[in-house]
Amino acid sequence: MLGGYIHDLEAGDVFEPIEYVLSPFMCSEYAHGVEENGEWFHSPQTPAGRQLRPPTMVHADKMRLLEKNCLKEPRLGGAKSPHARIHFEYHACQHSPAYVGERLVVSGRIAARYVKRERTYIDYEMEVRTSDGRLVTTYTDKTLLKYERDREAGND
C-alpha cells in the first residue's frame, strides 16, 4: 500500500515517479561520501566535458521514491521505523551515463513481498531515465523489512 509506512508496501505497488535535475553538488557530495575520488564525479574533467553521476547513486533514487510514496515515514527527514530494515541485495545495470544538468525521471514498483526463514522481504524494481527517454540505469533491490525474527510469520 502506497502512502503509508515502508513496511506497508505490497507486491504490485507502483510508485509515483519522481523527477529532479542532477546537480554538481549531488554528484560530488555522494562521491565524497563514499571516498570515490575519480575526478569525473567532481568536475567536468571527463571525456564528454560534463560531470558524471556516480553509478551507485541509484540507491539515493530509491530513497527519493520512498520519501514521495511512503508519506508516514519520511526517512530522509529523520523518521525511524519501529522495526529496522536491512538492505540485503543491490543490483544495478548501467545503460548510459547521466550528466550534471540532466533532468532524471525515476520510476519503480514492488516486484515481490514474501516471507523466508521467518523474515519478510520486499523486492524493488526501478529504472532511471533522462527526461527525453534515454535509459540510464535499471535496478533491483532486496530489503529485509524487519531484522528481528517474526515468530508468527511462518517459514518459507
Partner 1 sequence: MTDLRTSGALAVGSEIAEPVRVMTMERIKWYEAGMRAAATGLLTLPHSNIHTDEEYAKSQGLLAPIADGMVSTNWISSMLVKHFGIDYLERGELRTKFIKPIFLGAVVSVRGRVSAVARGESGGLLYTLEVWCEDEKGVKLTVGDARVAMAPRA
What does the binding site for partner 1 look like in residue numbers (CB under 8 A)? 20, 23, 25-27, 29-36, 38-40, 45-47, 52, 54-57, 59-61, 63-64, 67, 76, 78, 80, 83-84, 86-97, 147-148
CA dihedral (9, 15, 16, 19) positive or negative:
positive
In the complex, what is the shortest distance from the CB of residue 87 to partner 1, in angstroms, rounded to a whole number?
5
How far is 146 from 108, CA to CA, in rounded Å?
21
Beta carbon nearer to partner 1, 16 or 39? 39
In the complex, what is the shortest distance from the CB of residue 154 to partner 1, in angstroms, rounded to a whole number?
19
Q: Are the CB atoms for 10 and 36 separated by under 8 Å?
A: no
Beta carbon nearer to partner 1, 1 or 91? 91
Q: Are the CB atoms for 19 and 105 separated by under 8 Å?
A: yes
In the complex, what is the shortest distance from the CB of residue 138 to partner 1, in angstroms, rounded to a whole number?
9
Partnered with residue 106 across adjacent β-strands are 18, 128
